[in-house]
Amino acid sequence: MSASRTQPQACSPLLQKYREVRRTSLDLTSPFSAEDQMLQSMPDCSPSKWHLAHTTWFFETFILAGAPGYRLFDPRYKHLFNSYYKQLGAHPFRGSRGLMSRPSLEEVHAYRHWVDQAIDRSFDQLSSEAKELLELGLNHEQQHQELILTDIKHALWSSPLRAERSIGLRAIENTISAKWIGFDKGVYEVGHSGEGFAFDNEGPRHEVLLQDFQIASRQVTNSEYLEFMRDGGYRKPELWLSDGWDAVNSQQWNAPLYWEERDGNWLEFTFAGMREIDPAAPVCHVSYYEADAFARWSGSRLPREEEWEVASLQAGMKHAGAFSDAGRFQPEPAQDEAPQWFGNVWEWTSSPYIGYPGFVPAAGLVGEYNGKFMCNQFVLRGGSCATPRSHIRATYRNFFPPHARWQFMGIRLAK
């Protein structure tokens, strides 16, 4: 590529972001072997290699495939790395992604390079519609960066050869006290305002009537959750929703995912190996059922997503926990008494994942991105230690089924 062509492209913030996001995905996976990146420990997880290929497939399929002069890297990939876009035809069963020894990781890297070069060459000629799809693809890839981390963490935990127990954990001796922040009854506006990027499920902006409510200034900590466990929280059916109680018994839950009791002490599995629970850090890897049971045990409840959004807007991103940018991928204790709304762990809300009033899925293939999943799931807010900081905002709506635990999921109380 000539210098005269490179220079104007480098001035485009969108192209610069494209390069940064694509590079970050490779940086996240670089510590892991090709064998690690092929692991699929359960159907909800996907191999890192598949994430690297699927995010590339998105750019090739939605932007490049119809461009004049573009040649597909491998026509078979249109089927192989389709996730769930039914309008494009059949796709492999989600639970079989770990069986894809071919293409190799090296070939997937070559695929990424091929598509990245094509985006570089064609960027100046892209239509405004194509650039909007490019921005959607970048946010899509940032979602998959979080999935890369959560999925490979589950895979490594599932392996009999885990990293050795880590030492030297920095723990805060005194947990910052949670405070109740009150809001008056009133009509509030929620949803994305239309400025900057947002997924279609974040709008349209609309009014909601909220009753008086209070919300905690920080997330529930490990020490607080341990009190629930020691009080027999997992053995008291009166605390649990019916489906939750069934999950506790069928899955034999007695602690958050990745926790293990050894010699009377609780340890948790992290990317640094097994380590002692940090009492002041936010509790993590709990399902909606566990979050709801804990809230009931504590005499509180989970917030509605509208309450969470209204409350979070008062602080913005000024006081936030860990994001993936820090490279530690572990929730951190609150450092001071300032309300903390973002980062560390996704926070379960009591709100079912449904469309806002007036919601209409986008036309065409991208309409399959969010709308068709509005069933049997609950909304989470705030981002986690595996979320890129630039990816989160107050209106962001994540969603998972109530039994899910492998994501960085935690609890904030309301009443």
Regarding whether 195 and 139 lie in a shared domain, the answer is no
Across 288-297, average pLDDT: 98
Query: Cα dihedral angle (65, 70, 74, 78), rounded to 10 degrees?
Result: 0
Does 198 reside within a domain?
A: yes
Residue 85 and residue 51 in one domain: yes
Is 133 found in the same domain as 206? no
End-to-end CA distance of the chain: 60
Q: What is the band of 240 on the pLDDT scale with cuts at 50, 70, 90?
A: very high
Same domain, yes or no: 128 and 242: no
User: In which element (H, E) is residue 267 found?
Assistant: strand 265-270
Average pLDDT over residues 18-27: 97
How many other C-beta atoms lie within 10 A of the C-beta of residue 23? 11
Answer whether residue 415 is part of any domain.
no
405 in the same domain as 292: yes
- Can you name the residues that pair with 134 across neighbouring β-strands? none
Boundary (domain end) residue, out of 158, 190, 210: 158
Residues 235 and 318 in one domain: yes
DSSP state at residue 67? S
The enclosing H or E element of 296 equals helix 288-297
Residues 139, 50 share a domain: yes
**What is the arithmetic mean of pLDDT over 13-24?**
97
Asked, for residue 207, whether it belongs to a domain, the answer is yes
What is the predicted pLDDT for the residue at 2?
36
Judge whether residue 1 has pLDDT over 60. no
Q: Count how many domains the chain has.
A: 2
Residue 145 CA to residue 386 CA, distance in Å, equals: 8
Average pLDDT over residues 1-10: 40
pLDDT digits (tens, 9 = 90+) for 146-201: 999 999 999 999 988 876 654 434 444 567 889 999 999 999 999 999 889 999 99
Phi-psi region of 216 (alpha: psi -120 to 50; beta: other; left: phi over 0): beta
Joined tokens for residue 124? 């100046």
- Confidence (pLDDT) at 115: 98
Confirm whether 169 is domain-assigned: no
Which tens digit of pLDDT belongs to each residue from 359-389? 998 777 777 678 888 999 999 999 999 999 9
Sheet harboring 409-410: ordered strands across?
398-400, 378-381, 346-352, 409-410
Looking at the fold, whether 147 and 208 belong to one and the same domain comes out as no
Regarding whether 185 and 143 lie in a shared domain, the answer is no
> What pLDDT is stored for residue 91 in this prediction?
82
Do 298 and 351 belong together in one domain? yes
36-83 pLDDT, tens digit each: 999 999 999 999 999 999 999 999 999 999 888 999 999 999 989 988
Q: Which residue has the higher pLDDT, 317 or 3?
A: 317
Whole-angstrom Cα Rg for the chain: 22
Q: Is 191 in the same domain as 138?
A: no
Last residue of a domain, one of 123, 158, 193: 158
The first and second tokens of residue 134, run together, are 């490019």
Which residue, among 340, 297, 298, 287, has the nearest Cα to 316 in the 3D structure?
340
Q: Which class for 313: exposed (0-12), middle (13-18), buried (19 or more C-beta within 10 A)?
A: middle
Same domain for 200 and 116: no
CA 91/CA 85 separation, integer angstroms: 8
In a domain? residue 30: yes
- Full residue range of the structural domain in which residue 85 is found: 3-158
Return the SS3 of 387. coil
DSSP string, 161-204: SPPPPP------SSPPPP-EEEE-SEEEEES--SSS---GGG-S
